[in-house]
Structure 1
Amino acid sequence: MTDDEPILAAAGIGKLFGHVRALRDVSFDLRPGEILAVVGDNGAGKSTLIKILSGAYDPTEGQVLVRGRPVAFGKPADATAAGIATVYQDLALVDTRDVAANLFLGREFHKGPFVDRRRIYREAEKLLATLTIKLPSVRVPVYLLSGGQRQAVAIGRVLVGGPDIVIMDEPTAALGVQESERVLRLVRDLRDAGKAIILISHNLQQVWRTADRILVMHLGTVAGIRERQHSTVDEIVKLIVYGNEDDATTSGLPDSGAYA
């Protein structure tokens, strides 16, 4: 696979919940070593799309393709096996357990019938060093960590399985400015290491500093996909609000700061 060939693609994805259509004809691709931001107002279909890509929902229509081959995910574990890892907004960490235990939760090393805790601590330190994540210790309970440190642990945990595709759902939503920057730096580092990243975010300022391309969702459809360097914040805001920039008027355009 070359850098120009999609590692992940959606082809005509649709999703119905009873008589309610959540997604209609959603198509896009994701390339190795790129960050694709997914933006849109509440109800635009971002969460439904991500749950389909991560194996939590089945699409009603269309196909998901990984490395050019159609796939059908019956459960999230199938997506994980296909090389797709998802970091959800709630992180799903076990607060009372330490960093190392959270990183290798469900993937513990064993020595005979017993958990090999020494190896878990050793491998946890190697993983965090590789990701340039600085924590007080891999033995500290997660509940003692800051929000940014917890997010870093959640990202580190999904990387244990060696995924090629990482989906991140609002990774900086509950973080301050400095911690947000640290997490976004980690996201860019993963991109530079060749990972393909889908970044769901409501913060256009952060998207603009981080993404390579931007996919805009509007009422369950793809309003547009733009190369960040060839677009503007105002253009993206028009697509978020109106769906079709031709329908927008300059006088009716919201202040782009509303999406910061």
Structure 2
Amino acid sequence: MAVPLIAARGIVKSYGQVEALRGADFSLGAGEVVALIGDNGAGKSTLAKILSGVERPDGGTIEVDGEPVAFGSAEEARSAGIETVYQDLALCADLTPAANFFLGRERLRPGLLGLLGVLDNAAMRRATQDACERLGVRLPSQSAPVSALSGGQRQGVAVARAVTWARRAVFMDEPTAALGVVQTRRVLDLIRTVRDSGVSVVLISHNMQDVMAVSDRVEVLRLGRRVACFATAQASMEDLVGAMTGALEQQEGRP
């Protein structure tokens, strides 16, 4: 079998007396969309934060392309080609799409102006426009602040930013939350486009319809552990809900 792009085994994480993860496992293959689902408190957001470098585990191992890693920060995960689209999008509302896109990665003008710290705003606007167009994200203006964009457009900017800098994988935490039907469909199309571009996607979602529509596999967390893994094409909504609630374990006679 192919070596997973990202593999986590026995991940443990506690916050005081609260055990968020109790030996959780996870795997992500190259070029696939894996949905990570579970009820509230199952540990999915904690696991995603650990795999994207935001949190450090108390125990367990993580491998990227078969090599052990120990991310000490989100920056280290980004250096490994792993980006995250957070539920709140982590966009600066008063900045333009290009300024958000290159935040912390600003481009300088060539020559003496660059040595003086002058930004190449035109180049950053062009790069942002190109990245958005490749993903089918249409922005009304590159000069308007992000606060002037619709929810779907802001989501598109966040996704395009992550995909541009990601070399291996993008984690998306509830990317369709609070979006309308049309905007949700566009975000799901974005996820498919990202996968087709060769970047793997981890979709964290409570929306089972979105999960069934866009994922290749589904991994289910319950009480801090992975309790099931399904090929989406071979699973039903009842299978997913049964695994999330523990009904599937009861049917199989597991404690």
**Is the 2:78–2:166 contact (alpha carbons within 8 Å) kept by the matching residues of 1?**
no
1:14 aligns with 2:12: yes
| Distance in 2 of aligned mates of 1:197 and 1:43 | 22
Task: Please report how far the alpha carbon of residue 17 of structure 1 lies from its aligned counterpart in structure 2 after TM superposition.
Answer: 2.1
RMSD: 1.5
The C-alpha deviation readout for 1:107-165, integer Å capped at 9, x for no partner, is 11101120011111111111112212111122221111110100111111222323311
Counterpart residue identity of residue 22, structure 2: R
Instruction: Compute the TM-score of the two structures, normalised by the length of structure 1.
Output: 0.91
1:46 aligns with 2:44: yes
**Is the 2:243–2:249 contact (alpha carbons within 8 Å) kept by the matching residues of 1?**
no
Counterpart residue identity of residue 85, structure 1: E
**Is the 2:28–2:34 contact (alpha carbons within 8 Å) kept by the matching residues of 1?**
yes
In structure 2, what is the equivalent of residue 174 of structure 1? 178
In structure 2, what is the equivalent of residue 79 of structure 1? 77
Q: Which consecutive residues of structure 1, in runs of 5 or more, have no partner in the other structure?
A: 250-260
The C-alpha deviation readout for 1:53-111, integer Å capped at 9, x for no partner, is 11111111111111101101111111111111011101111111111111111111101
| Distance in 2 of aligned mates of 1:124 and 1:246 | 47
In structure 1, what is the equivalent of residue 162 of structure 2? 158
- Runs of 4+ with deviation above 4 angstroms: none
- Three-state SS of the structure 2 residue aligned to 1:223 is strand
Task: Please report how far the alpha carbon of residue 171 of structure 1 lies from its aligned counterpart in structure 2 after TM superposition.
Answer: 0.3
Task: Please report how far the alpha carbon of residue 248 of structure 1 lies from its aligned counterpart in structure 2 after TM superposition.
Answer: 4.7
1:207 aligns with 2:211: yes
| Distance in 2 of aligned mates of 1:7 and 1:221 | 20
Q: Specify which of 98, 101, 107 is matched with residue 99 of structure 2.
A: 101
1:68 aligns with 2:66: yes
**Is the 1:104–1:160 contact (alpha carbons within 8 Å) kept by the matching residues of 2?**
no
In structure 2, what is the equivalent of residue 142 of structure 1? 146
| Distance in 1 of aligned mates of 2:133 and 2:22 | 42
Instruction: Compute the TM-score of the two structures, normalised by the length of structure 2.
Output: 0.93
**Is the 1:45–1:219 contact (alpha carbons within 8 Å) kept by the matching residues of 2?**
yes
In structure 2, what is the equivalent of residue 225 of structure 1? 229
| Distance in 2 of aligned mates of 1:93 and 1:181 | 21
In structure 2, what is the equivalent of residue 245 of structure 1? 248
Aligned length: 246
| Distance in 2 of aligned mates of 1:150 and 1:173 | 13
| Distance in 1 of aligned mates of 2:211 and 2:241 | 12
Q: Which consecutive residues of structure 2, in runs of 5 or more, have no partner in the other structure?
A: none
- Three-state SS of the structure 2 residue aligned to 1:43 is coil
Identity of matched residues, %: 45
